[in-house]
Every structure is written in C-alpha cells, then in structure tokens.
Amino acid sequence: MPKPLLQIIIGSTRPGRVGSAVAEWIAATAEADGRFDVEVLDLAEINLPMFNEPRHPRFRQYEYQHTKDWSATIDRADAFIFVVPEYNYGYNAATKNAIDYLHHEWHYKPVGFVSYGGVAAGTRAVQQLKQVLTTLKMVPLFEAVNIPFVQQFLDAGKQVQPNEIMTEAAATMLGELARVTPTLRSLRSPEPAEPAEPETADIDPEAEPAR
C-alpha cells in the first residue's frame, strides 16, 4: 500500500525569508520519520496571482491553467504542514490567497503547523489560520512546532539547527498526522456535485431581487 502524501507548504514568498530553511528542516524530519511520502510546495515558485477566478471555487469550473494546476496538486495530497510566518499578529497574504483558490480539494485532510517569528513564535498566525481551515472542512492538529526568535536557530549556512523542544514537537506532530490521516481518508468519497453557477453575463444587475 502506498504511503500517504504529506505536502509541506511554504507560506512566505518574500526575498530573504526564513521559511524555506524551516521547511527544509521539517521536510527532512518527515522523510526520516518514514510514514509519509513528502512533497514541498513553495508558494514563491508556484506564484499564484491574486485570486482571479470568476466563479466560486466550490464549482470547480476553473478558468485559468494556474488554478487547474494548483487544484491537481492539492487534490492528490492526504495531509499538510503549513510553514507560516507571523506578520502583524496574523498570517501572510500569500497563504490566504493560495487557500482561497480552492474548496473541495482541501476537504477532510489533516493539517499541522510549523510557525516562526519573534516572542510569540508565530502562534497568533496559526490561531487565525485554523479558523479559515476549519471552514474548508480541514482538521487542524493541536500538536504543532512553534519557533520563537527563529534567527537564533540558523547556522552560518542559514540551515535550521533545532533544539530538543523543536525536535520533540516535530515528532509528536508527525505521529498525530500519521494517526489521523487514514481515518479522514474514508470521508473523502466523491462529494455531491454543486449546482451550476449562472454565467455572469446572464445576471441582470438591474433586475428586481426574487421575493
């Protein structure tokens, strides 16, 4: 039986980001764990434009190739780890944009978090992100890795050198992901089709609302 696919999503897209180093560390940790096939998704490389689909994503009637590609990528995943920074007490816009592009593709999949920042270690970003993900029927884990003052864990080569707390937290989170993932897979049977959305051109903005 094939291993479940764990996708690690790098949320930060800015030059000089720490997120890619943090993602490399958690990806190597997950690969060493051995219970998942691991794939890293870098939102900076994927480079989605600001959400520009004319129809709600629940219809899966995608207009643009970048959306179709993103849909196929997320659809094949069984579980996720979001690697996220904290910007101004919240998570960053590129992460929200990537989430909003899709709907059904996220359903009934567990998600862990590796957050980083200053004194709060990105925890406020994670708390906000959980509210969004539960709306998409995802299952956020309690177990997480929160890295305070992240720069102190980077060596001269900008690689993460974790402490014992980070290592233990990562192992606990991966264990919980491995436990929850098979249970949720059974819920991802084909979902009922959404009713077709009317074409924008067919909607008369001057028409009286139905009563």
For residue 172, the enclosing domain spans: 5-202
Amino acid at 85: P
Helix-, strand-, coil-residue percentages of the chain, each rounded to 5 = 40, 15, 45
In a domain, 207, yes or no: no
Q: Give how many domains the chain has, as a whole number.
A: 1
CB 8 within 8 A of CB 41: yes
CB 101 within 8 A of CB 68: no
Give the integer Cα–Cα distance in Å for 120 and 91: 13
In a domain, 95, yes or no: yes
For the segment 77-95, what is each residue's pLDDT rounded down to a tens digit?
A: 999 999 999 999 999 999 9
CB 43 within 8 A of CB 99: no
Which of 17, 87, 6 shows the shortest CA–CA distance to 45?
17
In a domain, 173, yes or no: yes
Phi, psi of 68 (to 5 degrees): -60, -40
Reported pTM:
0.89
CATH number at residue 29: 3.40.50.360
In a domain, 131, yes or no: yes
Give the integer Cα–Cα distance in Å for 209 and 190: 34
For the segment 15-64, what is each residue's pLDDT rounded down to a tens digit?
A: 999 999 999 999 999 999 999 999 999 999 999 999 999 999 999 999 99
Both tokens of 173, joined, read: 């989170």
Chain mean pLDDT for the chain: 92
